[in-house]
Amino acid sequence: MSRAALTAYERSKTLVKLAETAKRVIQEQAEFRTDSVRNSPGRPATPGSTRDVAERIGVPAQTIREAERLVEAVEAHPELGGPDWKQYHVLEARKRQTADSAFSQDTAAATGQSKQPETANVNARGGPGRANFNLLRRRALQAA
């Protein structure tokens, strides 16, 4: 019996948990630094920074940040966590949805109307649907 491959969300969630654990360990170890290290010249090191965490777990900092964004997006919109959604699809949908919601808010503020309700951005296969973004944009323009 074999297990199915992890989804992008599951991999990202695991990476985020690992990064959070590493950050806590780094911060705890920073408490035990000697005074000579703490009082050394130059900019003081920030214990638990993304750079420190990336070095500790051997994963690029950009990968950690993208995993955090993906987990945040899927927790806000659970339909994006399906197996048909690739990481770049979710991040692109998040980027477009943020742009669309900012566009809708600007349009609503200019016209004095309330914000349009968000709809799920899923096509028939469960992947991102560009048509939904365009539909939201058109509705916002028509409301103006």
pLDDT for position 131: 56
pTM score over 0.75? no
* Cβ–Cβ under 8 Å, residues 122 and 79: yes
Six-digit token string for 75? 């927790």
The domain in which residue 125 lies consists of 82-144
Residues 63 and 98 in one domain: no
Determine the average pLDDT of the residues in 46-59: 88
Residues 96 and 144 in one domain: yes
Ranges 14-18, 50-54, 112-116: which has the least confidence = 112-116
Of the three residues 76, 99, 131, the one that is the final residue of a domain is 76
Of the three residues 52, 76, 100, the one that is the final residue of a domain is 76
Our count of domains for the chain comes to 2
Condensed to tens digits (0 to 9), the pLDDT of residues 82-137 reads: 888 888 888 888 788 777 665 555 555 555 555 444 445 555 554 445 555 566 56
Of the three residues 57, 76, 95, the one that is the final residue of a domain is 76
pLDDT averaged over every residue in the chain? 75
Six-digit token string for 119? 């709809």
Residues 51 and 99 in one domain: no
CB atoms within 10 A of CB 1: 2
pLDDT for position 2: 80
Asked if residue 1 is part of any domain, the answer here is no
Q: What share of the chain has pLDDT > 90, as a percent?
A: 23
Residues 118 and 87 in one domain: yes
Residue 52 CB partners (closer than 8 Å, separation 6+): 23, 26, 45, 46
Asked if residue 2 is part of any domain, the answer here is no
Q: What is the DSSP string of 57-114?
A: HT--HHHHHHHHHHHHHHHH-GGGGSTT--HHHHHHHHHHHHHHHHHHHHHHHHHTPP
Residue 79 CB partners (closer than 8 Å, separation 6+): 120, 122, 126
Q: What is the largest distance, in Å, between two alpha-carbon atoms of the chain?
A: 65
